Amino acid sequence: MSASAAAVLDLAWPPGGHDPVLSALAERHIGRDGALDFASAIRDPLLGRLAMVSSFGADSAVLLHQISRINPEMDILFIDTGKHFAETLDYVDTLSTEFGLANVRFIRPDAGLIALEDSRAELWQKNPDLCCMLRKTFPLQDALSGYQSWITGRKRFQGASRAALPFFERDGDHIKLNPLAKTSAEDILSYARRHDLPQHPLVERGFLSIGCAPCTRAVKPGEDPRAGRWSGLNKVECGIHLGPDANFARQSLAARGDGI
């Protein structure tokens, strides 16, 4: 997200302070060695109705595989922005079938809103923050209204903005579980090899972090894996982790007459 958009949204998330639910979850499921017992965590009633949100990107197979072994019936939400690589859509099918994931749900943007705001299909160039809000943040926010908690695939090694990522975090009314928070890139690779997991077809072409096609490029050797996302723009996150600020963004845009 650009500095200007952050200013508009007045980002002040997450709030500080003690959260007894997060403390209880940490006490129950994080061992003395600092490791998370993922299988026990996702069965905890404190999390309520739980879904996983997956991009079916370069690293997604590892967590999806783990979930398929614990609860293949879990709802898996895939945000179909309409801008994905064809290879990603194929990969959704491949992993769903291979892992026996029974409830992969495609979350799509409001077609009327896209027609209104992006009739020329160039919003990703002119205002990528708004494009991500319309195509990702708001559809996911609506989809998550039916859940109390969600699982993300974020990791600390993915960059400075994720360097202190906890296993459990509060996001407005939701709790987010980040089971791979402390997992290294080597661990991911090693797990994928050990279980012979299918690889996203674009990885062998140098795409190490995969989002929408217009906003993703292959990375060069030695580059940060996420360097190919919104390359050349002052933007590093899509905005689905805005927390309550997503509501504020919606209200701000509506107030500005942007058709939200």
Residues in contact with ligand SF4 by CB under 6 A are: 81, 83, 124, 128, 131-132, 135-136, 211-212, 214-215, 238
Cα torsion angle, 103, 68, 139, 250, sign: positive
Half-sphere exposure of 68 (CA within 13 A, CB side): 17
Q: Pick left, alpha or beta for residue 5 (phi over 0 → left; psi -120 to 50 → alpha; otherwise beta).
A: alpha
| Residue 127 Cβ vs ligand SF4, minimum distance, rounded to whole Å | 8
User: Toward ligand SF4, which CB reaches closer, 135 or 155?
Assistant: 135
Token pair recorded at residue 92: 């959704």
User: Toward ligand SF4, which CB reaches closer, 179 or 239?
Assistant: 239
Q: Which residue is nearest to ligand SF4 (CB)?
A: 212
| Residue 6 Cβ vs ligand SF4, minimum distance, rounded to whole Å | 16
User: Toward ligand SF4, which CB reaches closer, 141 or 183?
Assistant: 141
What is the rounded CA–CA span in Å between residue 194 and residue 203?
A: 18
| Residue 234 Cβ vs ligand SF4, minimum distance, rounded to whole Å | 13
User: Toward ligand SF4, which CB reaches closer, 4 or 97?
Assistant: 4
Q: Show Cβ contacts of residue 158 under 8 Å, excluding neighbours closer than 6 positions.
A: 209, 225, 226
- The helix or strand, by DSSP H or E, that contains position 65, with its residue range, turns out to be helix 60-70
| Residue 17 Cβ vs ligand SF4, minimum distance, rounded to whole Å | 32
Q: For 188-218, give the DSSP string.
A: HHHHHHHTTPPPPTTGGGT-SS--BGGGB-P
Say whether 215 is catalytic.
no
| Residue 133 Cβ vs ligand SF4, minimum distance, rounded to whole Å | 8
User: Toward ligand SF4, which CB reaches closer, 136 or 200?
Assistant: 136
Q: Choose among 215, 259, 254: nearest CA to 1.
A: 215
| Residue 116 Cβ vs ligand SF4, minimum distance, rounded to whole Å | 15
User: To which residue do tokens 């209104």 refer?
Assistant: 116
Burial class (CB in 10 A: 0-12, 13-18, 19+), 91: buried
* Omega before 14 within 30 of 0, i.e. cis: yes
User: Toward ligand SF4, which CB reaches closer, 25 or 132?
Assistant: 132
Q: Choose among 222, 168, 202: nearest CA to 47.
A: 168
- What are the catalytic residues? 238
